[in-house]
Amino acid sequence: MARARRYDPDRRGRIVDAALRVVGRAGLAGLTHRTVAAEADVPLGSTTYHFASLDELLVAALRRANEGFAGLLRDDPALAAPAADLPTELARLMGRWLSGERTGVELEYELYLAALRRPALRPVAAEWTEAVTGLLAPRTDPATARAVVALMDGICLQVLLTDDAYDEGYAREMLSRVLAPREP
């Protein structure tokens, strides 16, 4: 007699969450369909059913991880206020993000930088850059918004790689320089 399938509409999402936990704990080298299946407590066939390759799984994981900082920017009411001082608000939000759970920040960057070696991830990494640029562009021009994203990425990577404390004053000053109005 054939075994009835268990209805599990959240299984795909649980597999993605499990992949994020595996990468957070063991890095990209520890990510396999088997480790993710064990972490998600699903049959191995479920991971390969929903994600034919590890790259497909990493694309889904990177999309989920991308919501971290981009979501923080999108949801912050002070940043949306036209009168808000953009460098001050961005520096504050970077500090808030970096002072949160370090593993999540590291994971987001690990997946983002994995695009260097995994071409399948490049469009998703670009989506993140475009999303954050799009959030900032109404307050400046698109080219400056892209430069701000690059600066914020650089500051965050320096903090993560050096274990130095985040310096909000420095971030605010550098963001002010990039966002300074140009003389005609």
Pick from 94, 96, 115, 104: nearest CA to 158: 94
Enter the tokens of residue 102.
């370090």
For residue 14, pLDDT beyond 90: yes
Flag whether pLDDT at 4 surpasses 50. no
Quick check: 183 pLDDT over 70?
no
Q: Domain segments of the chain: what residues?
A: 11-61, 66-179
pLDDT for residue 2 is more than 60: no
Query: In terms of CATH, what superfamily is 11-61?
Result: Homeodomain-like (1.10.10.60)
* Superfamily of domain 66-179, CATH level 4: Tetracycline Repressor, domain 2 (1.10.357.10)
Of 52, 49, 58, 50, nearest to 23 by C-alpha is 58
Identity of the amino acid at 20: L
- In percent, the amount of the chain with pLDDT more than 90 equals 53
Greatest mean pLDDT among 106-110, 136-140, 175-179? 175-179
pLDDT tens-digit map of 53-112: 999 999 998 888 888 788 888 888 888 888 899 999 999 999 999 987 777 888 888 888
Amino acid identity of residue 168, one-letter, is: E
* HEC readout, the chain: CCCCCCCCCCHHHHHHHHHHHHHHHHCHHHCCHHHHHHHHCCCHHHHHHHCCCHHHHHHHHHHHHCHHHHHHHHHCHHHHCCCCCHHHHHHHHHHHHHCCCHHHHHHHHHHHHHCCCCHHHHHHHHHHHHHHHHHHHHHCCHHHHHHHHHHHHHHHHHHHHHCCCCCHHHHHHHHHHHHCCCCC
